[in-house]
Structure 1
Amino acid sequence: MELRQLRYFLKAKELLNFTEAAHALNISQSTLSQQIKQLEDQIRVPLFNRIGKRISLTEAGTLFAEYALQSVNRADDGLLLLEDLNNLKTGKINIGVTFALRNVLTKTLILFAQQYPKVKVCIVFGTSDELIEKLSAAELDLVLTFKEDSKDTQFRQELLFSSPLTLVAAERTGLASRRSISLEEITRLPLALPATGYSTTRFITEAFKRKGLHPDVSIEINDIPTLLAIVKTGSWHTILTKVSVVDQDLITIPIEGKKMSRSAMAIWLNDAYPKKAMLAFLKLLKAENNL
């Protein structure tokens, strides 16, 4: 049973004349008659009484008309919904973000919500591992995270920008005049780091290991705002990407060495249909951050 057959049937029911119905549908009468006959053959019951050139609905045709109309109306509603979806007048996007990109996200989120108020946006914060796991399970449409470029064909990845790794300290610690700092010097400082699971923590731990260094990490915490509050006391330091820190009471000092920067990536499932709202959000993100 095809939708067009239902439309043909309903027009013939309305006009009770195949010739007029065919003209209204802009098709030939033979096409209309053939399609209605195919519909009747499929449901195994006549829908019209054919008396000479006149037609009238059978009892089955009268009963069937109500359901045919519902089907056509539902299909039309669905097309309107898809049109609204395509024009960003409805829909929902689920975006996973690491805390390090919170500042980059916020401005874009506000602008997107203002431009497309009918599109619902759900933001989930987490570690890179947590977010990638949710993306793999199709619980997220897009992930924004610091992650090394992967050859995993399951994902499509787009580089957004790079941000240097920095030592984060309270302004009053006396390090404000430093232009850079080495890993060796950092080992002599008390550190509070993001907990295991944060990609930046894994990255910096590997950097220390390559040099055979053992940093003095006295606190590990999985809540970055609390971590920064601890650093503000001046008793501890931490290591984060520069873009993660905008607090005026904190300073960021670039860490010396090759490849001491992180790549911010936009990641989505390669085989999944990219939602238009997701692509619009990503485009706005890049435009607002000059990427």
Structure 2
Amino acid sequence: MELRQLKYFLKAKELLNFTEASKHLNISQSTLSQQIKQLEEEIGIPLFNRIGKRITLTEAGLLFSEFAFQSVQKSNEGLMMMKDLNKLNSGSLSIGITYALRHLLTKALIAFSRQYPKIKINIVFGTTSELIEKLNTTELDFILTFKESDESDYDYRSLFFSPMTLVVAKDSEFSKLSSIALKDIMKLPLALPAKGYSTIQFIKGILKKEKLEPNVLIEINDIPTLLELVKTGNWNTILTQVSVDDPDLATIKIRGKNMLREATIISLKNMYQKKSVKIFQEFL
């Protein structure tokens, strides 16, 4: 059993198509099929059902995939450990982040890159659910988002707390208020983040608990566009205060319990943390 066979198997499992998997792996389809066939012969059981040009995982394939993933991951961690001995003169970092924490990341990124200019950094913006999914498949080294719960699979590192706010145009009649009750927001025309953003899950949870029904006219999956809509004065929104840094907008703190969000670094538990990851997190 060879490591490359496990990698081939995992890519075929991901795409459920030998042709597409071979393209992603930059090998011929015949090579991929041959290697997976050899793997199946060695373990003595089929990993895929082959139905014409379609493939599906067998029960054995599903069980074997966890072993294969752990083996490949441990191998990658071993390589990372060796690269760390190179005193950060090479290597890469992949960081996932939600829109609200972009300013924090930018400052840390500039400072880190000045000190370690040879580290290649990949930044991925997305919703919390999208980023968690990428973290689970080890596409990202860690993510920056708001904490929703404590789950045993992850390590959490708290950064700061930010209050939930009503966001309005700067010339809105509400812009001079220092705070507002959640029930008073329900009457206003609202544009809110779409499903997938941790903020909307947080808001919906509180509204459900308080038995409140908001006047939501627009849902949108792009925060910059959402803020542009609010600037017109036709709509208002609810976001963490740290999300808003625009002179044409005003934020009013929402009164009530549990109106603080915790900005957090999230990484996979029991996964080797590269030296560059640890240092970047210190910059954060």
Query: TM-score under structure 2 normalisation?
Result: 0.70
Contact 1:191 1:216 in 2 (8 A): yes
Q: How does 1:65-80 map to 2 (within 5 A)?
A: none
Structure 1 distance, partners of 2:266, 2:83, is: 26
Structure 2 distance, partners of 1:85, 1:278, is: 14
Q: Which letter maps to 2:279? A: A
User: Paired residue for 1:114?
Assistant: 114
User: Paired residue for 1:207?
Assistant: 206
- 1:85 CA displacement: 5.1
Contact 2:180 2:254 in 1 (8 A): yes
Structure 2 distance, partners of 1:233, 1:172, is: 10
CA-based RMSD of the aligned residues comes to 1.6
Contact 1:191 1:238 in 2 (8 A): yes
Structure 2 distance, partners of 1:85, 1:249, is: 48
Alpha carbons of structure 1 residues 130 and 83: separation in structure 2 relative to 1, 3 Å: closer
Q: Secondary structure of 2:171's match?
A: helix
- Aligned-residue identity in percent: 54
Contact 2:146 2:263 in 1 (8 A): yes
Contact 1:221 1:227 in 2 (8 A): yes
User: Paired residue for 2:133?
Assistant: 133
Q: Secondary structure of 1:197's match?
A: coil
Structure 1: gaps spanning 5 or more residues: 1-78, 286-291
Contact 1:86 1:276 in 2 (8 A): no
Q: Secondary structure of 2:93's match?
A: strand
1:190-248 Cα offsets, whole Å, 9 max, x none, are 00000011111011111111111110000000000000000000110011100111111
Contact 1:94 1:124 in 2 (8 A): yes
- 1:264 CA displacement: 0.8
Q: Which letter maps to 1:229? A: E
Q: Which letter maps to 2:145? A: T
Q: Secondary structure of 2:255's match?
A: coil
User: Paired residue for 2:252?
Assistant: 253
User: Paired residue for 2:103?
Assistant: 103
Structure 2 distance, partners of 1:149, 1:196, is: 17
Contact 1:128 1:147 in 2 (8 A): no
User: Paired residue for 2:148?
Assistant: 148
- 1:121 CA displacement: 0.6
Q: How does 1:184-195 map to 2 (within 5 A)?
A: 184-195=183-194
Q: Which letter maps to 1:193? A: L
Q: Secondary structure of 1:255's match?
A: strand
- 1:263 CA displacement: 0.7
Aligned residues: 205
Contact 2:148 2:198 in 1 (8 A): no
Alpha carbons of structure 1 residues 83 and 94: separation in structure 2 relative to 1, 3 Å: closer
Q: Deviation above 2 Å: which 4+ runs of structure 1? A: 81-86
Structure 2 distance, partners of 1:100, 1:89, is: 31
Q: Which letter maps to 1:259? A: N
